[in-house]
Amino acid sequence: MDKKDIKFFVKRIFTKDLSLESPEAPAIFDNIKSTPKIAFNLNTTIASIDDTTYDITLDINVKAETENNVIYLVEVKQAGLFIIDGADDELKDVFLNIRCPEVIFPYARETISSLVQKAGFPPIFIAPIDFNALYQQELSKNKH
């Protein structure tokens, strides 16, 4: 198939679920004596809506804690609806596992950072993710 026949576009970016817990607030604001440890977890879900429409969801959890306390826990399900038409299965997998998450991730980062700030904490910077490297790791894991 000719590459010019391939269609890829973003239909919508949206938040499916969003929560922030700060179980020790407001006391925690005065009790943070050391730099918190930040844990980050990311999972991607791919759902086919029809032959050309896909719902990709990044499920991200961020937990900030000290030795004694959970400072905050953020859970975000940031999603996108994408149209992919005219691509063979291999190229479609690249779109679904790399390109789509690359489009969604900056929205998730902004949502998390904004939410953390609105909860009264310093902004958090989440480093960019190389979705291509993650996908290649998954492919090599599945081959073994």
Domains of the chain plus CATH, in order, are 3-143 (3.10.420.10)
pLDDT for residue 123: 85
Strongest mean pLDDT among 66-70, 77-81, 125-129: 77-81
With tokens 């010019």, the residue in question is 4
With tokens 């918190």, the residue in question is 36
Q: Residue 46 forms beta bridges with which residues?
A: 56
pLDDT for residue 34: 76
Global pTM reads 0.88
- Would you say 46 and 53 are in contact if contact means Cβ atoms under 8 Å apart? no
SS3 annotation, the chain: CCHHHCEEEEEEEEEEEEEEECCCCCCHHHHCCCCCEEEEEEEEEEEECCCCEEEEEEEEEEEEECCCCEEEEEEEEEEEEEEEECCCHHHHHHHHHHHHHHHHHHHHHHHHHHHHHHCCCCCCCCCCCCHHHHHHHHHHHHHC
pLDDT for residue 78: 98
User: Quick one: pLDDT band at residue 65, thresholds 50, 70, 90?
Assistant: very high
Calculate the average pLDDT of the chain: 92
- Would you say 51 and 79 are in contact if contact means Cβ atoms under 8 Å apart? no
pLDDT for residue 19: 97
Share of the chain above pLDDT 70, in %: 97
pLDDT for residue 3: 55
- Would you say 57 and 107 are in contact if contact means Cβ atoms under 8 Å apart? no
pLDDT for residue 119: 93
pLDDT tens-digit map of 73-117 = 999 999 999 999 999 999 999 999 999 999 999 999 999 999 999
pLDDT for residue 144: 59
